[in-house]
Amino acid sequence: MKRNKKGIGDEDTKSLMPQDERNKKSLKIECHKLSCFMLTLTIVVSLVLGNLFLIYKDDLSSFKSEGLISGEVRLLYEKYDLNSDGIIDLNEFEPLAHKFLEAKTEHNYDEEISDDDEFLTLNAYFEPLDVTKLNINKYEFLTNSDSLKSLKNWKEPNRAVLNFGCKDFKSFLPQNINDIKVGHVWDLIPRLKRDNNQLSNKRFNPPEPETHEKTLFRLLQMFHKKPFLLSRFAPQGTSLVLRAKNKNYLDIFFRVHAEFQLNEPPYFPFWFTPAQFNGRIIIAKNASHIEYFNLYLPNSKKLNIDMEWLNDMNENMEVDIGFVNRMEIVASMSSLKSTRDHQESDKVTRLRVSETFIKPINQERYENMLKMMKWDEEMSESDALIELEKSFYPFKQITYYPFLDAFKKAQSLNKLVHYILLWGALDDQSC
Ligand SMILES: *[C@@H]1O[C@H](CO)[C@@H](O)[C@H](O)[C@H]1NC(C)=O
């Protein structure tokens, strides 16, 4: 752009000040000594005047904005100006940036179950965090009214009962369905590659799930409306293993490492990370029928929930470990036809059954029925779970022995004992 030689102090010189600066270099080449001096003078003076103008303008804009900026925008601004200093800095901008990137904040992926599909009624159970088992922050838990508010208020599942179509579970099936071997492990949500596997703490809304992720997303939403299918740290993702198969059915075990964001602005992020979820699905190879489904947080260890939260966007995370006794989804019974023919005098009409919820049958009886299923090929449940573990933890490739057994084993092999004492478990998220 060519320099506009106008009088010092006129309107254009003031507002063009930054351009003057930008063009300084190229201009100097064009000018003679005298005009060079004049130019320098102009720049200096216009800088001074420009600054004065900016100061004046600052006053003006803060004065003007009271009237021009709408109240709701102001409120929104204040919501993200977490320390109320009138400036949104980079840290405060980050959750906002993720909001832009995620765009969609209301995650509802319910779809109608088609007439030719069967449906499954699933029931979610959630018992709130056992406060008596909190370790270091009992006092804070009881007194902190900000960061922990949503945790304290989370007393029941987000959606206690929900119908799913059997076809929704197609994403749980392996690719090579006809020649898949018992013990084969595959991924529904693959973990991130090693060098960039840490995701931001400063997010409030989960990314939109891909088509094949929607069913898992909806399942976890039964507990809480904001599940993150990929947890921030390893172990991440969801893997499945084939435990047994016959001509028409697959018995699949799976393991989920996901987490939940409990807070919304103006509160800081609070991450609630279950140690793991285990699950089982017995499904027809063509996804036309589901015999069984469950998903649960194991409660056999003393601690099974990792919690991390911020009290300030610039600070390190606060951490505690807790215990939830029950976080579980179970099917009421095996899947049923979505519609039923219904006779009314001489007329036959189709009745939508999938719009009603089926009451759960006795779980013990249900599980006993499963034991009667005949499989052509199978492995034990515990072996199937070990295969899953190995896929999440490379260190599980070697065998670990209980304390006393290790010495006997070491003696028989004439080897030394390598002894590790841990406060928590290394093979889930509770550590
Ligand atoms: C699915 O497989 C079952 C056998 O398990 C069969 O009876 C049924 O006709 C199949 N359905 C479709 C839509 O292919």
- Which DSSP state fits 7? -
Burial group, residue 193, by CB count within 10 angstroms (0-12, 13-18, 19+): exposed
Residues 208, 351, single domain; the answer is yes
* Residue 246, ligand 1, Cβ within 6 A: no
Q: Is residue 18 part of a domain?
A: yes
The chain-wide mean pLDDT, for the chain, equals 81
Ligand 1 pocket residue status of 317, Cβ below 6 Å: no
- Which has more confidence, 54 or 198? 198
* CA of residue 334 to ligand 1 center, whole Å: 16
Residue minimizing CA distance to atom 14 of ligand 1:
286
Q: Are residues 37 and 125 in the same domain?
A: no
Q: What is the pLDDT of residues 270-313, one digit of tens each?
A: 999 999 999 999 999 999 999 999 999 999 988 899 999 887 77
- Nearest residue (CA) to ligand 1, atom 5: 248
Nearest to 238 by CA among 260, 218, 253: 253
423 inside domain: no
* Distance of alpha carbon 107 from alpha carbon 220, whole angstroms: 12
The segment with the largest mean pLDDT, out of 54-63, 126-135, 207-216, is 207-216
Ligand 1 lined by 286 (C-beta under 6 Å):
yes
Res. 4: pLDDT tops 50? no
Model-level pTM greater than 0.75? Answer: no
Q: How far is the CA of 289 from the centre of ligand 1 (A)?
A: 8
| Contacts made by residues 416-423, CB under 8 angstroms, sequence distance 24+ | none
What is the pLDDT averaged over residues 240-257?
97
DSSP string for residues in 169-192: GGGGS-SSTTTPPTT-EEEEEPPP
Residue 91, Cβ density class (10 Å: 0-12 exposed, 13-18 middle, ≥19 buried): middle
Summarised one tens digit per residue, pLDDT across range 291-300 is 999 999 999 9
Q: Is 131 in the same domain as 264?
A: yes
Both 81 and 55 in one domain: the answer is yes
**What's residue 30's pLDDT?**
41
Question: What single string gives the DSSP state of each residue in 82-122?
Answer: TT-SS---HHHHHHHHHHHHH---------PPPTTSEEEEE
What pairs with residue 252 in β-bridges?
242, 281
Tokens of 210: 């891909």
User: Is position 411 within any domain?
Assistant: no
**Residues 37, 181 within the same domain:** no
Strand ranges, E, within 127-269: 161-165, 185-189, 227-228, 237-245, 249-257, 259-261
Task: Report if residue 345 sits inside a domain.
Answer: yes
The answer, yes or no, to whether any atom of ligand 1 lies below 6 A from the CB of 284, is yes
Residue 93 pLDDT > 70: yes
- Domain enclosing residue 274, as ranges: 118-391
Beta bridge partners of 186: 240
What per-residue confidence (pLDDT) applies to 430? Answer: 61
Give the gyration radius of the chain's Cα atoms: 31
8 Å CB contact between 318 and 201: no
In this structure, is residue 403 part of a structural domain? Answer: no
Is 201 or 14 the better-scoring residue by pLDDT?
Answer: 201
- Looking at the CA of residue 116, tell me the nearest atom of ligand 1: 13
CA 95-101-102 angle, 5° bins:
85
Q: Is the separation of the CB atoms in 121 and 329 below 8 Å?
A: no
* Segment of 29-33, 230-234, 398-402 carrying the highest mean pLDDT: 230-234
Q: Atom 8 of ligand 1 has which residue's CA nearest to it?
A: 288
- Number of compact structural domains in the chain: 2
Do 166 and 314 share a structural domain? yes
| Residues in CB range of 274: below 8 A, 6 or more apart | 258, 259, 297, 304, 305, 306, 324, 327, 429
Do the domain assignments include residue 249? Answer: yes
Atom of ligand 1 nearest to the CA of 284: 5
Instruction: Answer for the pair 217, 225: CB distance below 8 angstroms, yes or no.
Output: no
| pLDDT reported for residue 124 | 98
| Residues 262 and 301 occupy one common structural domain | yes
**What is the 288 CA–ligand 1 centroid distance (Å)?**
6
Statement to judge: residues 52 and 145 lie in one domain: no
pLDDT band at 346 (very low <50, low <70, confident <90, very high): confident
CA angle 57, 62, 64 (to 5 degrees): 90
Torsion angle defined by CA atoms of residues 283, 287, 290 and 291, in that order, rounded to the nearest 10 degrees:
-40
Of residues 185, 52, 134, the one with CA closest to residue 307: 134
Angle at 422 between CA 418 and CA 425, to 5 degrees: 115
Residues 142 and 70 in one domain: no
Residue 92 has pLDDT above 80, yes or no: yes
Residue 401 lies in a domain: no
- What's residue 424's pLDDT? 63
Q: Is 248 in the pocket of ligand 1 (CB under 6 A)?
A: yes
Dihedral-angle region of residue 237 (phi above 0 means left; psi in -120 to 50 means alpha; beta otherwise): left
Each residue of 100-114: pLDDT tens digit?
776 656 778 898 999
Which residue, 100, 130, 162, sits at the end of a domain?
Answer: 100
Higher per-residue pLDDT: 239 or 196: 239
Q: What's the CA-to-centroid distance between 249 and ligand 1, angstroms?
A: 11
Q: pLDDT for 56-87, tens place per residue?
A: 444 444 444 445 666 767 778 888 888 889 89
Tell whether 413 is covered by a domain.
no
Distance 287 CA to ligand 1 centre (A): 8
pLDDT of residue 431: 53
Clarify whether residues 352 and 268 are in a common domain.
yes
Question: Domain check: are 122 and 95 in the same one?
Answer: no
Minimum CA distance residue for ligand 1 atom 13 = 288
pLDDT attached to residue 377: 96
Task: Give me 143's structure tokens.
Answer: 């007194």
Encode pLDDT of 376-413 as tens digits.
Answer: 999 999 999 999 999 888 877 777 788 888 889 889 99
54 and 171 inside one domain: no
